[in-house]
Amino acid sequence: MSSRTASIARSALPPAVFGVGFLALWELVVKGFDLKPYFLAPPSKIWQKFTENFDLVWGATKVSGTNALVGLLVGTAFGIVMSLVLSRYRVLSDLVTPLAIALNAIPIFVLVAVLNNMFAITSEVPRRIMVTLVVYFIVLVNVARGLTQVSATHVELMRSYAASEVAILRKVRVPNAVPYLFTSLKIAAPASVITAFVSEYFGGSQNGLGSRIASNIANSKNAVAWAYVLGACLLGLTFYVISSLLEGAATPGGGSKRAKKSR
């Protein structure tokens, strides 16, 4: 146990030292060159504003975080269901997959402007739909790959056992797709947070992190804007860490270990 703690400390120490050093340098540059607060706020000031406005930042984080979470869950559910359908009907897959990949490559979150037109001005629904769409395509493309790219030996083996297509799906394709699902969640989780922020720039209620950052910058309250940025960073990080932990928990023997050893 102590050796494990030591190894975590060894791997965590260099980036921690680097981070602290970076903040110190930032502080020194702002103070040393006497940079104006509307140009760049020093970390100490940002931290002060963060603690002063903690309730406001927390409130905005809850709004953006909820939008991201709802979109993430719904998008993942749709993505999984659709990939199962596509793996069952190959014709459909040939039709949809290129489209999904193409859509994945363009910044489709601008669609939120169109969605805003369809719902009440204070509605959070357009933002959630937007996050859902982004997450959906990420999950769909990855999970569909996991369901179809199974080892040829495994399929031959199952056929030699006279296994039905349903049995092959349950015993081979779905377990094979599980690591793909968690990889896609690791990509989709931060993407859901980013999409939730950016969606706020296209109108609607001014209650989330994204719109607060914009309005504080507009009011020259630079340090307060940075406090919201800090909140945004922490939110994105939380989503990422949770999805990483889920991956570790869902993979027997630990995900990265297995990926390295299996052939």
Partner 1 sequence: MSAVEIRNLGKIFNAGSSNQVDALVDIDLSIASGEFVSLIGPSGCGKSTLLRLVANLLEPTSGDIAVNGKSAKQARLDQDYGMAFQQSGLFDWRTVVKNIELPLELKGWDKAKRRERALEMLELVKLADFAEHFPWQLSGGMQQRVAIARALAVHPQLLLMDEPFGALDEMTREHMQGELLSICRRTGSTVIFVTHSIPEAVYLSNRVVVMSPRPGRITKIVDVTIEGERTDATRDNAAFFAGITAVREALRGVEMSAHVRGIEDR
Query: For partner 1, what does the binding mask look like between residues 234 and 263, x meaning CB under 8 A?
Result: ------------------xx----x--xx-
Number of residues engaging partner 1 in binding (CB under 8 A) = 22
Of residues 183 and 222, the one with the C-beta less far from partner 1 = 183
Q: Which is nearer to partner 1, 104 or 176 (CB)?
A: 176
Which is nearest to 70 in space by CA: 113, 106, 123, 119? 123
- Determine contact, residues 201/211, Cβ cutoff 8 Å: yes
φ, ψ of residue 163 in degrees (nearest 5): -75, 140
Residue 84: CB minimum distance to partner 1, A: 18
**In the complex, minimum distance from the CB of residue 163 to partner 1, in angstroms, rounded to a whole number:** 5
> 56 — phi, psi (to 5°)?
-65, -45
Residues 123-162 that bind partner 1 (CB under 8 A): 151, 153-154, 156-162
Q: Between 175 and 214, how does the x/- string for binding to partner 1 read (CB under 8 A)? A: xx-x------------------------------------
Q: Which of 101, 167, 233, 245: binder of partner 1 (CB under 8 A)?
A: 167
Q: Measured from the CB of residue 169, what is the shortest distance to partner 1 in angstroms?
A: 13
Which CB, 53 or 87, lies closer to partner 1? 87
Neighbours of 237 (CB within 10 A): 12
- Residue 69 per-residue DSSP state: H
**Closest to 176 in 3D by CA, of 153, 148, 156, 157:** 148
- Tokens standing for 113? 């402007």
- Give me the helix-helix angle, 125-148 and 111-118, nearest 10°: 130
**Cβ closest to partner 1, residue 137 vs residue 180:** 180
Residue that has been written with the tokens 């990949």 in this structure: 101
Which residues touch 16 (CB under 8 Å, ≥6 apart)? none
Which positions touch partner 1 (CB under 8 A)?
151, 153-154, 156-163, 167, 171-172, 175-176, 178, 252-253, 258, 261-262
